[in-house]
Amino acid sequence: MSSQVAATTADRTPPSHTNQFALLAQRRFGPFFWVQFLGAGNDNVFKFAFTVLVTYQVQLQWLPPALAGLVIGALFILPFLLFSATSGQLADKYPKEVLIRFVKNLEIAIMLLAGWGFVQQNVPVLLMCVFLMGAHSTLFGPVKFAYLPQHLTERELTGGNGMVEMGTFVAILLGNVAGGLLIALPLVGPAYVAAACLGLAVLGRVLAQAVPVSPATDPALQINWNPFTETWRNLKLAHANVVVFRSLLGISWMWFFGAVFLANFPAFARDVLHGNEQVASLLLVVFSIGIGAGALMCEVLSRRHVEIGLVPLGAFGMTVFSVDLYFASRGLPPTGPAFTLGSFLAQAAHWRILADLALLSLFAGIYSVPMYALIQMRSQPTHRARIIAANNILNALFMIASSLLAGALLGAGFSISELFLFIGIANAVVAFYIFMLVPEYLLRFVAWLASRLVYRFRVQGDLHIPTEGAAVLACNHVSYVDAVLLMAASPRPIRFLMDHRIFKVPVLGWLFRLAKAIPVAPQKDDAAAYEAAFEAAAQVLREGDLLGIFPEGGITQNGELQPFKGGIAKILSRAQQEGVSVAVVPMALTNLWGSYFSRVEVRNGDRVAMVRPFRRGVFSRVGLNVGQAIAAKSVTLEGLREQVAGLAR
């Protein structure tokens, strides 16, 4: 097992690259990306061509056109409910490159059968193939998302997920377009669809051969073939990590939200926008491009870290533009001539509709990618695929619930525009609920805003901040927002040991309590609280988390580095006595003295902060320099202070 882990770790050590697109040229990502892209495209070529076939070309009494799309969609989703739990186990037990090649072999076999079904126009066989392709996608889902953290570093995970998300939606879009065009060809349409589906499956299998070795993470796992008991076990497994489980719910909500729009585009185009089929297709194109653009933007917005502070930003945009879509569509005439694509685009009012749709989907992409990356990073590697399988199960359940709720609301007399308004408001309520349950999202959002909108924040040496394991982050203390800026620089949550007086500062005190910062008072003032604080700090390190400390014991009064107090030495000594391996990371904030939140002003002889908001203008430049981690046993107070002083220069 150790050799497997070593191999995987070596494979995740990347050559330097400038952005997420450079990953396509690397074997650890490129073949995998194109395999999943072709698979998603083939799914949609097949499904859409089949839907058009039974809607327009083959008239069946037992499958009326009005139900065809619903039946095909239900058959495709059903395997996610039945087999996701088993698929997650297989993805943890077996090497992922082996499973990928097996899945592509299975796809070829299904497409051979589907090709015969298209040529013969045998609808029962094609319905069976829909179910089989759903099972094929169910098997591939946990492999796909568990593969990425095995081959990408923390700094690449957001970009890699953004590429996969973008690729998936582009493949869905191209697959729908290709399937519709091919099946519409007179006489030869079904044969061309059969050939295209088989060709895509074979090409995917060829590329799968280049996917690198991806060792099993839990080869000793005993498979439980009962899908019902294993589904429940997977959900309990996911629930054990509260942040991960709530993130699963957040992603599932995004699919709930998106499904409402995707399912109602045809009716929205026809009944509200008075457009033809081309207008409905345009809405799908705009939505898909928006999702892909938002997914790709995440790497830039997050500065190549897993930045869950983007999730509240995404949720805010989803609500704002869903609500505005209602007001934009409400202003349209209730009746009118049917618009072609050209005449639809010629109306200025319709551009607001398209802008709302593009932006709400863009923010949905920004919302979802950090959540996927967080789940991959925070899930235990040995059962990561089973956690992702639980996510697939929840996604399927939420999409079914979305269809039922949308149908109920429309049946109760809601217009489609009112349905979009309802889902936009519901998104705000759900997002607020999730962010209150998991304050880390909100905290990271505040840190993200502070580091990008209040300051121009530049971090050097952030690779030295450990992505796993216990560590103490020791930093100079220059202002009231030091902890917020450290949060923005770290890929992981930080528990801070902080002077109890800072909790009395308006807004910041609430923020630090939300972050579960540990208040510490001088021993002479409150000996019990003093000891409780150090016990809480020790517990943070026992749990393998990051502990943030400002060893000066208070905010500097003159901008200079003050002597270090003995608290950090006490914490490190206790960790060594308990056998806890701890790294100490020296860091220094620069150019922050003199800003609004530092004690640069003098009032009545005292140094005070927060009295001149724009004393240095807006977007003032500040920085954080991070030094190499030091083993706890090698740390001395004076030596650590010299390290921090050197970084502050």
In tens, the pLDDT along 39-92 reads 999 999 999 899 888 877 777 777 777 677 778 888 999 999 899 999 999 999
Most confidently modeled range among 279-283, 343-347, 435-439: 343-347
Instruction: Compute the mean pLDDT over every residue in the chain, rounded to the nearest whole number.
Output: 88
Give dist(CA 378, CA 375) in Å, integer. 5
- Contact present, 162 and 298 (Cβ < 8 Å): yes
Name beta bridge partners: 603. 606
The DSSP 8-state label assigned to residue 185 in this structure reads: S
Question: pLDDT grade, residue 236 (50/70/90)?
Answer: confident
The residue count for the chain: 649
- Contact present, 221 and 234 (Cβ < 8 Å): no
Can you read off the two tokens belonging to residue 403?
A: 């269809």
Q: Please indicate whether residue 128 or residue 304 has the higher confidence score (pLDDT).
A: 128
Q: Which helix (H) or strand (E) holds 497?
A: strand 494-499
* Section 210-219 average pLDDT: 94
- Contact present, 370 and 158 (Cβ < 8 Å): yes
Cα 356–361–363 angle (5° rounding)? 95
Integer CA distances (angstroms), 285 to 40, 76, 169, 276, 625, in order: 16, 22, 10, 15, 44
Predicted pLDDT at 2: 37
Q: Please indicate whether residue 1 or residue 347 has the higher confidence score (pLDDT).
A: 347
- Contact present, 405 and 205 (Cβ < 8 Å): no
Give dist(CA 579, CA 632) in Å, integer. 11
Give dist(CA 114, CA 128) in Å, integer. 9
Predicted pLDDT at 407: 85
Give dist(CA 151, CA 9) in Å, integer. 8
Residue 361 clears pLDDT 60, i.e. is over it: yes
Name beta bridge partners: 460. 625
Predicted pLDDT at 18: 61
Query: At residue 362, what are phi and psi to the nearest 5 degrees?
Result: -60, -45
Give dist(CA 392, CA 376) in Å, integer. 14
Predicted pLDDT at 66: 63
Predicted pLDDT at 207: 97
Q: For the CA atoms of 97, 306, 260, 276, what is the dihedral angle to 10 degrees?
A: -80
Question: pLDDT grade, residue 215 (50/70/90)?
Answer: very high
* Section 473-483 average pLDDT: 92
* Section 190-202 average pLDDT: 96
3-state secondary structure of 590: strand
Predicted pLDDT at 147: 93
Residue 3 clears pLDDT 60, i.e. is over it: no
Cα 180–185–189 angle (5° rounding)? 80
The runs of H, that is alpha helices, within 12-95 are 30-52, 65-93
Q: Can you tell me which residue has the tokens 């533009």?
A: 321
Q: Can you tell me which residue has the tokens 């949060």?
A: 487
1: number of CA atoms within 13 Å, CB side? 7
Question: pLDDT grade, residue 339 (50/70/90)?
Answer: confident
Name beta bridge partners: 457. 622
Residue 15 clears pLDDT 70, i.e. is over it: no
Residue 14 clears pLDDT 60, i.e. is over it: no
Integer CA distances (angstroms), 502 to 134, 472, 481, 524, in order: 55, 20, 10, 18
3-state secondary structure of 600: coil
Question: pLDDT grade, residue 6 (50/70/90)?
Answer: very low
* Section 524-540 average pLDDT: 88
Helix 277-302 and helix 310-330: axis angle, to 10°?
150
Residue 612 clears pLDDT 80, i.e. is over it: no
pLDDT digits (tens, 9 = 90+) for 633-645: 899 999 999 999 9
Question: pLDDT grade, residue 271 (50/70/90)?
Answer: confident
Predicted pLDDT at 12: 41
* Section 144-168 average pLDDT: 90
Give dist(CA 599, CA 377) in Å, integer. 38
Cα 382–387–393 angle (5° rounding)? 150
Q: Give the number of other Cβ atoms within 10 Å of residue 513's Cβ.
A: 12
Give dist(CA 548, CA 534) in Å, integer. 13
Query: At residue 414, what are phi and psi to the nearest 5 degrees?
Result: -65, 140
- Contact present, 138 and 80 (Cβ < 8 Å): yes
* Section 550-558 average pLDDT: 89
The pTM for the full model equals 0.82
Burial of 3 (0-12, 13-18, 19+ CB in 10 A): exposed
Residue 466 clears pLDDT 80, i.e. is over it: yes
The DSSP 8-state label assigned to residue 58 in this structure reads: -
Residue 118 clears pLDDT 70, i.e. is over it: yes
Residue 557 clears pLDDT 70, i.e. is over it: yes
The runs of H, that is alpha helices, within 438-549 are 439-449, 482-489, 508-514, 527-542
Predicted pLDDT at 4: 40
Q: What are the strands, taking DSSP E only, across 500-642? A: 518-520, 546-549, 583-590, 601-603, 606-608, 620-626, 630-631
Buried b (16+ CB within 10 A) or exposed e, 4-27: eeeebeebeebeeeeebebbeebe
Query: At residue 387, what are phi and psi to the nearest 5 degrees?
Result: -65, -45
The DSSP-derived string for 81-123 is HHHHHHHHHHHHHS-HHHHHHHHHHHHHHHHHHHHHHHHHT-H
Predicted pLDDT at 615: 67
Residue 100 clears pLDDT 90, i.e. is over it: yes
Amino acid at 527: A
Contacts of 344 (CB under 8 A, 6+ apart): 273, 275, 279, 282, 350
* Section 454-480 average pLDDT: 90
- Contact present, 336 and 274 (Cβ < 8 Å): yes
